[in-house]
Structure 1
Amino acid sequence: MAHGPYEKPIRPSTKQNVARLLKTDVAKFVRKFEKLVRRELWTKEDPGRQVDWNDPLVWEKINNEGFYHRADEMLVSCGTVTVDQADSPRPKVLVVFNKNIGIFQLPKGRKNFDERHLDTALRETTEEAGVAVQPLRLRFGSRSTPPKPVQAQNQARETRYGVEDKVTGITEGFSSESIGYVLEFTFSFSFNPHHSLGGLILILNPSDPDPATGAWRHIYWFAAKPLGDIKRDEARMTEEEDRKKFSTFWFSEMEALSRLKLEDEKFMVRIVFAYIRSMSDNDWTNSREHE
């Protein structure tokens, strides 16, 4: 997986802007998971971040950094960080060993036609590990919008997910939304002293496709937990190839991090366990009530 300096865009910054940012909820969110923040975040009201939509250089930047491909050029995968006894002192994470390529990895796989991303993640986990799973609702921030109630009596449906912060655009609440995703690309730099965003410009290039298919992979990750028995049941593994290809393991967080091969999968494990550690007893009660 490509990773490196592209994770934090080159942006102008002043002490005044930073001070303003630290007063917002997004700053609280950043501080809570400081070691897991992959890029700079700012607010809609920060005067140093206002976008001039009449500036042609803004549109030039958007066009240069935009990726667009036919559907057959993309490969969408979905997987889970499945945790058993997440609310206990010793939670375990589900990991599979891929015998074909000799690595430990999180269970994931391609999306079917007309299938939701979450459903793909749950199905692929069950088929690769032989363990039935369901969503694990955690409290975390997302830029998805809370659903609007159709009638007044359905008001609880909106607050179930939390209330969107209109300044940051982030809703922090209980959900089974994606905890993160991976887009594979490479990066390069160019210099333009006249650019409105500064001289050094980061250019993202989706020029490093999946080596096995030639497609660009988008991987969506979800938190999950076992649905019943945690033992491997090969009757749930619909493909004979998967029964031969994968072995199933339950590891502690640290052991999983030491065994997983891919950095993006390690990152997703860290994300989920950070969310788990931030959950209070009341949070776990609310999470179970919303199942």
Structure 2
Amino acid sequence: MDPIGNAIDDRTSCLEYDKVKQRLDRRWDIEKINEQPYNAEDWKDNNDRAVCYDMKSLMMSFGTVTIRDKPGAGGPQVLVFLNAKHKSYQLPKGRRNLHEDPADAALRETLEETGVEVHPLYLGFDTRLVLDSPETVDDVGLVRQNENGTVTAVNRDVVYAMSYDDKKTGAHRHIYFYAPDAARLGDEDRTNRVRWLGFEEARRMLTMRAEREAVAAAQILYARTRGNGDWWDLSRALLEKWKRNEAARRVLTGLPLARAVASDPRKAAILAEAIRKIVPDGGDEAAALALDYLERLGSADGGA
């Protein structure tokens, strides 16, 4: 592959990898607020550090470090693509649509930019996510609650983030990376624009250092999750649950009838009830439940 721009050398690649590993492994001690509350000096320091943006200035994007472990490929591979317009090798990413979930935006942008359909890859790592209810524990695959305020969980949330001031657009760019798995390859995957590369090769070829670090983070977390049998079993179980729920969601939200009832409050309420009941459960009963609710939609006339 002929690189555009300057590919980094092996030494730089190793140094960047070690930097990310040290960051992931660093000791994380958080002062408990009830023991050492904030004082005036703390708040002054926070105020001095604060950087504020209006939403016209802030550009939030969501991308992926898409991983596949294809038999015969010599190990896990990462999806990168050539942006000929900007003359750079990049990870797929882009801005979310209005009212779109950030994780859904990352999956959609990957499909649009590379032709590769992806689904979440659940990885085990320490995170500052908050467990707001007992049900959340089941959703994130909690491994342990840590004393320093973090949780160790097998989850599908953001694995790395970057930010910079983009001189071309004048925007303050914040980019959040997820680490999905390849579900299906599209026609775009067979073009010269899209590449599947080993972790190390991908890190050498990507133009932006922050994206190379995102790959390193995903590489480390993927290896740790695969190397822990309990974590990997949990990862597979959570993915199957996501697939069932996603299939049920598509059955309901993808129907023309769903759009047709948008202006009818009673029909819309029935559809909302269907979504609440079916999407959390999924499974083999989803189709039967969907038919039942759709029959109710068809018979509803909008009256009392």
Q: Percent identity?
A: 27
* 2:96 is equivalent to residue 116 of structure 1: no
Residue 166 of structure 2 aligns to a residue in which SS?
A: coil
Q: Equivalent residue for 1:249? A: 195
Instruction: Tell me the CA shift for residue 38 of structure 1.
Output: 9.1
Alpha-carbon distance, 1:289 to partner: 0.9
Corresponding residue SS for 1:227 = strand
Q: State the partner residue of 1:63.
A: 47
Distance 1:248 1:233, change over 3 A: closer
The CA distance in 2 between the partners of 1:121 and 1:173, in whole Å, is: 21
- 1:1-51 Cα shifts (integer Å, max 9, x gaps): xxxxxxxxxxxxxxxxxxxxxxxxxxxxxx9x74344977323259xxx75
C-alpha deviation, 1:68, in angstroms: 1.8
Residues 86 and 286 (structure 1), Cα distance of their counterparts in 2 relative to 1, 3 Å cut: farther
> So what's the TM-score if we normalise by structure 2?
0.64
**Alignment partner of 1:169 is 2:165:** no
Output one character per residue of 1:90-135: Cα deviation in whole Å (capped at 9) or x when no partner.
1110001111121111000111110111111111111000100111
Aligned to 1:271: 217
2: distance between equivalents of 1:113 and 1:72? 14
Distance 1:72 1:85, change over 3 A: same
Decide whether aligned partners of structure 1 residues 84 and 289 sit closer, same or farther in structure 2, where only a CA change above 3 A counts: same
Aligned to 1:183: 163
Aligned-residue CA RMSD (Å)? 2.9
Give the conservation status (yes or no) of the 8 Å contact 2:139–2:238: no
Q: Which amino acid aligns with 1:210?
A: D
In structure 1, runs of 5+ residues without a counterpart are: 1-30, 185-208, 235-242
Partner in structure 2 of residue 83 of structure 1: 67
SS across alignment from 1:284: helix
What TM-score results when the alignment is normalised by the length of structure 1?
0.67
Match of 1:225 in 2: 181
Indicate the residue corresponding to 1:105 in structure 2.
90
Which structure has the higher relative contact order (CA within 8 Å, separation 6+)?
A: 1
Structure number with the higher helix fraction is: 2
Match of 1:137 among 99, 108, 122: 122
Residues 36, 215 of structure 1: CA spacing in aligned structure 2 closer, same or farther, 3 A cutoff? same
Equivalent AA in structure 2 for residue 157 of structure 1: D
Letter in 2 for 1:255: E
**Is the CA contact (8 Å cut-off) linking 1:180 and 1:268 kept in structure 2?**
yes
In structure 2, how many angstroms separate the alpha carbons of the residues matched to 1:285 and 1:40?
27
Structure 1 stretch 130-139 or stretch 224-233: which is displaced more?
A: 224-233
Number of aligned pairs?
217
Task: Answer yes or no: is the 8 Å Cα contact 2:124–2:221 preserved in 1.
Answer: yes
8 Å contact from structure 1 (residues 146, 161) kept in 2: no
Q: Is the 8 A contact 1:146 1:158 kept in 2?
A: no
C-alpha spacing 1:228/1:75, structure 2 compared with 1 (3 Å): same
CA contact (8 A) 1:36 1:271 kept: no
Alpha-carbon distance change, 260 to 276 in structure 1, aligned in 2, over 3 angstroms: same
Residue 216 (structure 1) aligned to one of 172, 191, 202: 172
Higher-Rg member (1/2) = 2
Instruction: State the AA in 1 paired with 2:28.
Output: L
Structure 2 unmatched runs, 5+ = 1-17, 240-304
- Counterpart residue type for residue 288 of structure 1: R
Q: Which SS does the other structure have where 1:128 is aligned?
A: helix
* Equivalent residue, structure 2, for 1:53: 38
Q: Deviation at 1:163?
A: 3.6
Report deviation, 1:278. 1.0
Partner of 2:131: 146
Q: SS at 1:132's partner residue? A: strand
Distance (whole Å) between structure 2 residues aligned to residue 168 and residue 82 of structure 1:
30
> Matches of 2:104 and 2:78 in 1, distance apart?
19
Is the partner of 2:30 in helix, strand or coil?
coil
